[in-house]
Amino acid sequence: MDYQLIRSRRRTLAIEITRDARVVVRAPMRCPKRDIERFVTEKQGWIDLHLARMQARAAAHPEPTAAQEAALRQKARDILPPLVARWAAVMGVEHTGITVTGARTRFGSCSPKNRLSFSFRLMEYPTAAIEYVVVHELAHIRHKNHGPDFYAEVAAFLPDWQERRQLLKK
C-alpha cells in the first residue's frame, strides 16, 4: 500500500484520505515502522472503502475550468439573492449580506453576524437542494447550532428537508 507518512508530536496513529485520493498516515515521532505498517494493514478495508468513495466523488464532481467557475459564480449571483430574500421573508429572519465563495467542503455557512456564504459549487445541484441549503443557513440566524430546535425550524419550512439533503450527497 502506497501512503505518505507524516511524523509529528502527536500521540496516536491516524489515516487520512485526501481530496485527491492520496493516503496520508500520521504517526508519533518515535513510533516504530512495523507498528505503522501493522496499523495500515489492519485498516486496509477502511482505506479501500474511503479511497473508492473519494475517487467516485472526484469523478462525479471534477474541478471546474476557469470558464465553468465564472459561469457558476454568475449563476449563484443571479439565483441566490432573490431565493434568499424569498425564504428570509417566509421564515421571518434577516441576514446581513450574501457572499459567493469557492469553498470545497461546505455548501453554505452563516456567520455570527448573520452574513450568509454560499459556494459557487452549489449551483451544480438541483433547485430543491439549493433551496435546502438556503433554508438551512437562514435557520442558523435563529439557531447557531445543529440541535433539535434547529432541525425543527428547518422542518417547519421544508418538511422534505432530508430528501433534499440527500441530493447534495450524490
Residues of the chain with pLDDT under 50: none
Residue 116 pairs with which residues in a beta bridge? 98, 110
Cell of 48: 479501500
Q: What's the pLDDT tens digit per position in 44-56?
A: 999 999 999 888 8
Q: What's the pLDDT tens digit per position in 1-25?
A: 899 999 999 999 999 998 888 999 9
Cell of 152: 425543527
What is the CA angle 16-19-23, rounded to 5?
35
Question: What pLDDT sits at residue 79?
Answer: 97
Question: What pLDDT sits at residue 100?
Answer: 97
Residue 3 burial (CB count, 10 A): 16
Question: What pLDDT sits at residue 62?
Answer: 85
CATH class of 66-168: alpha beta
Classify residue 122 by its DSSP letter.
G
φ/ψ of residue 117, rounded to 5: -125, 140
Specify the domain boundaries for CATH 3.30.2010.10 within the chain.
66-168
In this structure, the strands spanning 14-17 and 23-28 are antiparallel
**At 23, which helix (H) or strand (E)?**
strand 23-28
